[in-house]
């Protein structure tokens, strides 16, 4: 099923993200985690794409495993480190496997700055995917602005280019203060961007994750969130419980404010996905 049709129903949806293994020896455990999450029957599940594309077949394999469980898969695809030939090879593989949804991304510029020359921005990839077949296309958006963008206005203009190139919905970068998303929605709607926006929510369940988030410039951490980290950061079980509760509260507030598409960065953790799903059993069908 196409994700645009799922979102068009206008009901609250809960979806989850998994990431593929970096090496073959981890494949079975990642696949097992993906199957467990799929057993929760989310609206769809996304499978990320390894930077550089070296593990692209794992993305397609995990997405196929999700599909075999009866859950709609969304395969991510990045372009900046790939040739056009490689990208079209991946699209052919997805089509052959009946995977209809692609999240089209530029990908991060590697630290050494070495990229292929075929693509500069995600909008170019979106145009090509659109021409390549009957895919439903998603893209990334950044309520706090993308790290490289000069300002939010320019970033929103570039988001508009992605929508005009043919993307059907957008998924946000994680955020920890819902007011940031509400303000962003106002700004993008004002610019005529009307595609569904799926809110990306990260349940922060351990101290290592918090360090990574802090190192990502621009992610605002509200004082309520910082207090949780200060109090429970050294206690893994308490941090996990508090992190799941914080994410769940964020989701309830979003749905109460009619942000219906919720995507949880579940990081291959079926127990985290299960607890969130259970806490929302009467809120998301
Ligand atoms: P773009 O939309 O191309 O934007 C990149 C930058 O260029 C922005 O600053 C934008 O404002 C600017 N820009 C765009 N067009 C123009 C233009 N015409 N002129 C000048 N500037 C322009 N990474 C992975 O490696 N694998 C994944 O699976 C993955 N999944 C992700 C999922 C989500 C929901 C999100 C939010 C991010 C994900 N990422 C993933 C990270 C993503 O690849 C990086 O954030 C990357 O740096 C930007 O990708 P993009 O598709 O948003 O790029």
**pLDDT band at residue 52 using 50, 70 and 90 as cut-offs:** confident
Whether residue 125 is predicted with pLDDT greater than 90 in this model: the reply is: yes
CA–CA–CA angle 112, 113, 118 (5° rounding)? 140
Query: Is residue 108 within 6 Å of ligand 1 at its C-beta?
Result: yes
Query: Is residue 149 within 6 Å of ligand 1 at its C-beta?
Result: yes
Average pLDDT on 150-178 reads 97
pLDDT, position 215: 77
As a whole number, the mean pLDDT across the chain is 96
pLDDT, position 217: 67
pLDDT, position 207: 81
Please state the atom number of ligand 1 nearest to the C-alpha of residue 19.
28
pLDDT, position 53: 81
Instruction: Return the best residue to mutate from 58, 63, 80, 105 for the ligand 1 pocket (most ligand atoms within 8 A of CB).
Output: 105
Whether residue 218 is predicted with pLDDT greater than 80 in this model: the reply is: no
The SS3 call for residue 165 is: helix
Q: How many CB atoms lie within 10 A of CB 263?
A: 25
CA dist 144 and 76 (Å) reads: 22
CA–CA–CA angle 194, 197, 200 (5° rounding)? 165
The CATH code of domain 3-279 reads: 3.20.20.220
Whether residue 161 is predicted with pLDDT greater than 90 in this model: the reply is: yes
The structural domains of the chain, with segments of one domain joined by +, span: 3-279
Average pLDDT on 16-23 reads 97
Average pLDDT on 158-172 reads 98
Residue of the nearest CA to atom 41 in ligand 1? Answer: 107
Whether residue 102 is predicted with pLDDT greater than 70 in this model: the reply is: yes
Chain center to CA of 278? 21
More confident residue, 44 or 216: 44
pLDDT, position 212: 82
Q: How many CB atoms lie within 10 A of CB 226?
A: 14
Asked whether the beta carbons of 197 and 258 are under 8 A apart, the reply is no
Asked whether the beta carbons of 282 and 219 are under 8 A apart, the reply is no
Whether residue 256 is predicted with pLDDT greater than 90 in this model: the reply is: yes
Summarised one tens digit per residue, pLDDT across range 186-195 is 999 999 999 9
Residues in the chain: 285
Whether residue 28 is predicted with pLDDT greater than 90 in this model: the reply is: yes
Average pLDDT on 214-243 reads 91
Cα dist from 93 to 58, 88, 90, 98, whole Å = 12, 9, 5, 9
pLDDT, position 166: 98
CA dist 159 and 195 (Å) reads: 11
Q: Dihedral sign for Cα 38, 253, 215, 205, please.
A: negative
CA dist 218 and 177 (Å) reads: 12
Active site residue 17: yes
Average pLDDT on 42-55 reads 92
What is the full DSSP assignment across 216-274?
A: STT----HHHHHHHHHHTT-HHHHHHHHHHHHHHHHHHHHHTT--EEEE--TT-HHHHH
């Amino acid at each position: 099923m196409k994700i645009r049709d799922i979102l068009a129903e206008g009901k609250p949806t809960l979806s989850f993200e998994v990431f593929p293994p970096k090496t073959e020896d981890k494949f079975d455990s990642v696949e097992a985690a993906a199957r467990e999450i799929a057993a929760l029957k989310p609206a769809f599940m996304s499978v990320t794409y390894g930077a550089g594309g070296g593990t692209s077949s794992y993305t397609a394999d995990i997405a196929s495993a999700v599909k075999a469980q009866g859950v709609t898969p969304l395969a991510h695809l990045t372009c900046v480190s790939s040739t056009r030939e490689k990208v079209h090879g991946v699209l052919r593989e997805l089509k052959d496997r009946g995977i209809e949804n692609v999240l089209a991304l530029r990908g991060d510029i590697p630290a050494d700055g070495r990229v292929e020359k075929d693509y500069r921005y995600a909008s170019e990839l979106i145009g090509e995917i659109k021409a390549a077949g009957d895919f439903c296309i998603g893209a990334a958006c950044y309520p706090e602005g993308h790290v490289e963008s000069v300002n939010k206005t320019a970033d929103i203009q570039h988001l508009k280019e992605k929508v005009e190139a043919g993307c059907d919905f957008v998924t946000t970068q994680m955020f920890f203060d819902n007011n940031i998303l509400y303000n962003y929605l106002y700004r993008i709607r004002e610019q005529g961007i009307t595609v569904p926006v799926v809110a990306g929510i990260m349940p922060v369940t351990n101290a290592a994750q918090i360090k990574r988030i802090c190192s990502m410039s621009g992610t605002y951490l509200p004082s309520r969130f910082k207090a949780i980290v200060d109090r429970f950061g050294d206690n893994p079980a308490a941090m996990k419980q508090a992190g799941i509760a914080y994410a769940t509260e964020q989701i309830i507030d979003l749905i109460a404010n009619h942000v219906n598409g919720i995507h949880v960065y579940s990081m291959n953790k079926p127990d985290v996905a299960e607890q969130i799903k259970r806490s929302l059993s009467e809120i998301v069908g």
